[in-house]
Structure 1
Amino acid sequence: MILFVFSSAVGFQRNRTCHNLKSWRSHGTFVACSCADLSFRDKIYVCKMASNVHWSMNDVHQKVLIRKRLELARNLCLEELLQYLVQENIVTDRMVEKVLYQPTAFSRNVAFLSILPKRGPNAYDAFKKALRETLQSHLADMLCEAEVQIHRARTVGKHVSLKSAIDITSTDTHGLDLEDGNSSLYVQSTTVDFFKTTRQCAYKMTSKPRGLALLINISVFDARANLEKREGSEIDQNNLSKLLHQLHFDITVLENCSAVEMIDQLQCFARNLKHSQLDCCFVAILSHGTQNSVYGSDGGKVDLNLIFQMFDNDSCPLLQNKPKIFIVQACRDIEEDVSDGPPISADNGSTERYQDLGQSLDDIGGKRLPTLSDMIIGHASLPGCSALRNTRHGSWYIQAFVKLMANHAKDKEITEILTLVNNFVRNKIPSSKAKYSSARGMPEFVSTLCKKLYFYPGVVDKQVVQ
């Protein structure tokens, strides 16, 4: 006796001897019958029906693949991924040949995406694992986010009552803007064609990881510092971490350190030997500040020029000719220091050397390089102005930076993106209920980059075609 199982258990009244299988087909019935009862054609049909039941992909997973089909078709790198799926018995060698026979990368990806939903309930999870194993984790993260959105749409009502909406927006009485935030953050991938057409005029940005990143977040201060807690700064930290992870950076986070500890950690970071093997460096500092310095948790001030000098061509030869990115989320008010903590300066107690950094030159390998070449520095505010922060969603500047980087890192270089950030923050209007309802923001950036700086998300050395 062989059991053949169809789609769903709908009752039937026919004799178990299979004289007319077509009538059972129309009912979608669970059927058990003897192999001898079936014609050869019906045996084939029953086997197909049984196969479909066992190999059907979860409907949510199918919807995710449909929703993200174009993005996947544009950005998948299939060679290693297909071999992983063969290893996991998801696809066969014959299927791989059929896919790779297609003339273009896009058509190969489309052919693969047409096959994948038919490869059983385990195919989707295997596909996501294959993406991570083949250095395409940004695509796996995209699929996970789409899953969350679909599940959320199923479980949450489509309409929110007016009362509920009012209750939500009235809970944060100190936020500057209650209508923004980063509920999802997904970095779109660069296309191979864009990479090939721009890489000659751009910095090399294909190492895995791209570079080392240091995030310094000072949100809680000692009582003697007389500085308020920076509520919402943890949101900035989390969003920056998500962004940098998807841009292939190796991230270190330093929280609530004193001014001396900040300098020590920055020096150790600048001297890390791994810089020599990587393509870029990223430093973000989130704290209170004045025009030319940022505060440690003890109220001590760290001169920003001192920080930049740690990474110049003289002090950090490991990063010569490589882009160095600094993002400073801090006020730049020209006010008397409200802290009783000691200011922090260079080891020799002097900051005179930083008064004209742009003209300082050093002999390096027979060539003369400007000391601060290949740097770009983004400030959350203009000199003499405050940087605005939402206690619920994070600072205006970091919100804009991570959103616009996620959307445009695939095909815009960093000065274009920071210009968009400037415009975004300048035009941002706070809620009428906000504490500083008349406040406006205006960031700025300073660049000594010598080439275009594209991040090429999704592109790594092993995928580069010479």
Structure 2
Amino acid sequence: MLGECGMKERDKLALKKNSVALCKEMVVDELLIQFLQAEDVLTEGMAETILAEPTSHKRSWRLLSLLPKRGPQAFNSFCTALKETEQQHLCTLLIRFRERENKPTEIEGEMSLAQDNTPAKDRGNQERFPEPVFPLPTQECAVPAKRARTHESMEMCLDADSPVTTAVLPCTPEFYMSHSAQAYQMSSSPRGLALVVSNVRFEPELSELDTRRGGEVDEEVLRRLFTELDFTVSLHKDLTVQAMRDCIEQFARQSEHAVCDCSAVCLLSHGVEGSIYGTDGQLLELDWVFERFDNARCPLLQNKPKMFFIQACRGEEMDSGVDQIDGDDGKEPAGCEQRDAGREEKTERQSEAGDERERERLRVKLPQRSDMICGFASLKGTAAMRNTKKGSWFIQEINTALRLRARDTHLSDILVQVNGRIKEREGYAPGSAHHRCKEMSEFTSSLCKDFYLFPKLQGHPKGRQYLVKNVWPRREKGGSKTEIQAGGAEGVRTDRPVGRRAAGGRWH
């Protein structure tokens, strides 16, 4: 019996019987919720309630508790949403369970055929509007239960040919007017130049530097993301250390920086603390990279924000996580720094008047390095996680956060949100070192103002003439396929060398 707002009993049963697997494996993010809102399955209030839950498990539980009350089409819409957010294996799990529970016996089938007195006209309508049938993967991808999944089948089910993306949400003129005064100027078109260097395949004799499967996905994600953020993107693949140096120096010297308001550099490779690998097994120091963009060597980017994203391991330690204990986060009491600052304030005021005269005689100077922000995929000494088909965890979260939050959030806060999302992620590969592995990203900043990208907002700020580009939500199709490799958590790999030391490097 179906109530006015109820779900079919067979669909309720499918959700109930598979609720444990769904809560453990489902990713309930903004994209999934937006899809369900577009299908009128969830109201705005419901969406806010779900996303306000502090953990992934609780968000999944809250969604599953609402779905049975959202009408007879909620189940099919939910399955479609899973498919559209690269969770095809969960969609398959539900569909196959429903088919198995409702499969008639041979006698029942004959009786139903004999008793089928439906008029031809009605049967025609049923044929025109059938229940959606979702494509099923091969047998290796079948996931009847989480514990039955092998490394290979798990990877095939969790992975897809290309990352799921939604259009970068546009900034509004009102937001720009209320926040631009305290932010870096960001009105040029293009906003800036973006350099993406991606090393996926290394020289064959370097057995300790395996092919970074999934790296192709990362580079395509970044290319699309920065293009939509109105950057001019240069993508370079599989470079030796010397080629990386030449590429970075040439990029830093480009005259186009003079008419742009910011820049971006993304480096993706294997790495150790403080350095990343070229395809020849040599190491490129990150400090050398940052120096190319300091105020002395790159005058065209003085006082302009420069963002860096480093997808590489910073050591060989695997973060296995720790058990969380109950209680409030530790809060440090006011320490000696505060008291010392109070004592020093008087002395500083006394010398301030004399210093002011001296400053007037000196020309304005800048520190050697400033206005930079750099996001790292992992903490010092730890490995960075990469899915062999979806790409790295860090780049996935950067992509999602910038697309959804750049419209009204400055970059420092966006990277804090990325840290929170990375903190929640956990690998799954029973029997391997990657099972329940963790990762923690971090960032460093010498920014001096809020760094808003003001996406898809065009026009000169002084004239206050703005044009928000038309951005119909769309899903990017295609993209470069990546090979399937057995083993690892969610097809997880690390961006660290394996086996013996690589040439010119040491591990920490």
- Whether these two folds match at TM > 0.5 is yes
- d(CA) in 1 for partners of 2:431 and 2:180? 45
Kindly state the Cα deviation for residue 430 of structure 1 after the two structures are TM-superposed.
1.8
Alignment partner for residue 213 of structure 2, among 228, 231, 250?
Answer: 231
Aligned counterparts of 2:130 and 2:236: Cα–Cα separation in 1: 38
Q: Give 1:197's aligned residue.
A: 178
Q: Give yes or no for the alignment of 1:414 onto 2:411.
A: yes
Query: Which residue is equivalent to 1:319?
Result: 301
What do the CA deviations read for 1:270-325 (whole angstroms, capped 9, x no partner)? 00010011001100000000001000011110000000000000110000000000
Letter in 2 for 1:247: L
Q: Which has the higher contact order (CA 8 A, sep 6+)?
A: 2
2:214/2:386 contact within 8 Å kept: yes
The answer as to 2:424 corresponding to 1:430 is: no
| Number of aligned positions between the proteins | 293
> Is 1:254 the counterpart of 2:236 in the alignment?
yes
Are 2:401 and 1:404 aligned?
yes
Alignment of 1:25-424 (within 5 A): 157-159=132-134, 166-167=141-142, 172=152, 175=155, 178=158, 182-226=163-207, 227-333=209-315, 366-424=363-421
Q: Is the 1:323–1:375 Cα contact (8 Å) retained in structure 2?
A: yes
Q: Are the counterparts in 1 of residues 159 and 389 from structure 2 also a CA contact under 8 Å?
A: no
- Rounded to whole Å, the distance in 1 between the matches of 2:156 and 2:284 is 27
State the Cα distance separating 1:432 from its structure 2 match: 4.0
- In structure 2, give the amino acid aligned to 1:428: R
Q: Find 1:452's aligned residue among 432, 450, 453.
A: 450
Amino acid at match of 1:284: C
Query: Within 2, Cα distance between the matches of 1:288 and 1:221?
Result: 10
How far apart in 1 are the matches of 2:130 and 2:406? 33
- The answer on whether the counterparts of 2:141 and 2:154 sit within 8 Å (CA) in structure 1 is no
Question: AA paired with 2:437?
Answer: A
Q: How many percent identity over aligned positions?
A: 34
**Aligned equivalents of 1:288, 1:240: Cα separation in 2:** 18
Cα 1:299–1:413 change in 2 (3 A) is: same
Aligned-residue Cα RMSD (Å) equals 3.4
1:378-417 Cα shifts (integer Å, max 9, x gaps): 0000000000000010000000110111010000000111
CA 1:177/1:326 → structure 2, altered by over 3 Å: closer, same or farther? farther
Flag the 1:155–1:237 CA change in 2: closer, same or farther, 3 A: farther
Q: Deviations over 1:435-464 (max 9, x none)?
A: 512210001000000000001011123576
Q: Distance in 1 between matches of 2:204 and 2:366?
A: 44
User: For 1:464 and 1:164, how far apart are their aligned partners in 2?
Assistant: 61
Are the equivalent residues in 1 in contact too, given 2:316–2:383 (CA < 8 A)?
no
Per the TM alignment, residue 174 of structure 1 is displaced from its structure 2 partner at its CA by 8.3
Structure with max Cα Rg: 1
Contact 1:224/1:298 (<8 A) preserved: no
CA contact (8 A) 2:141 2:157 kept: no
1:174·1:434 contact (CA, 8 Å) conserved in 2? no
- Residue 186 of structure 1 and its aligned partner are, at CA, apart by 1.4
Give a deviation string over 1:80-112, Cα, whole Å, max 9, x none: xxxxxxxxxxxxxxxxxxxxxxxxxxxxxxxxx
Over 3 Å counting, the alpha-carbon distance change for 1:414 and 1:158 in structure 2 is farther
User: Cα gap change, 1:197/1:290 in structure 2, threshold over 3 Å: closer, same or farther?
Assistant: same
Instruction: After TM superposition, give the deviation of residue 369 of structure 1 in Å.
Output: 1.2
Give me the whole-angstrom Cα distance separating, in 1, the residues matched to 2:157 and 2:181.
42
**Residues 383 and 193 of structure 1: CA distance in aligned 2, closer, same or farther (over 3 Å):** same
Structure 2: distance between partners of 1:250 and 1:428: 32
The secondary structure found in structure 2 opposite 1:235 is: helix
Query: What is the rounded CA distance, in whole Å, between the counterparts of 1:403 and 1:213 in structure 2?
Result: 18
d(CA) in 1 for partners of 2:157 and 2:451?
31
Deviations 1:337-367 (CA, angstroms, capped at 9, x unpaired): xxxxxxxxxxxxxxxxxxxxxxxxxxxx932
TM-score w.r.t. the length of structure 2 is 0.53
The one-letter code of the counterpart of 1:209 is: P
What is the letter of the counterpart of residue 416 of structure 1? D
Offset at residue 173 of structure 1 (A): 5.7
C-alpha contact (below 8 Å) 2:292/2:298 kept by paired residues: yes
Moved more, 395-404 or 434-443: 434-443
Letter of the 2:450 partner, please give it.
K
SS of the residue aligned with 1:401? helix
Residue aligning to 1:441? 439
**Structure 1 counterpart SS, 2:226:** helix
| 2:205 partner letter | R
Distance 2:254 2:462 in 1: 26
Alignment gaps of 5+ in structure 2: 1-37, 40-83, 85-128, 144-148, 318-361, 465-508
**Structure 1: gaps spanning 5 or more residues:** 1-66, 69-148, 336-364
Residue of structure 2 in register with 1:3 after alignment: none
Match of 1:28 in 2: none
Q: Distance in 2 between matches of 1:283 and 1:434?
A: 37
C-alpha distance after superposition, 1:165-207 (max 9, x if no partner): 9438868468599379732231000011001000000011111
Quote the Cα distance in structure 1 between the aligned partners of 2:150 and 2:174: 48
User: How far apart are the structure 2 equivalents of 1:288 and 1:448?
Assistant: 26
**Change over 3 Å in CA distance of 1:376–1:157 after alignment to 2:** same
CA contact (8 A) 1:334 1:383 kept: no
What amino acid sits opposite 2:158 in the alignment?
L
Give the direction of change, closer, same or farther, for the CA distance of 1:318–1:176 in structure 2 (3 Å limit): farther
**Aligned AA for 2:400?**
K
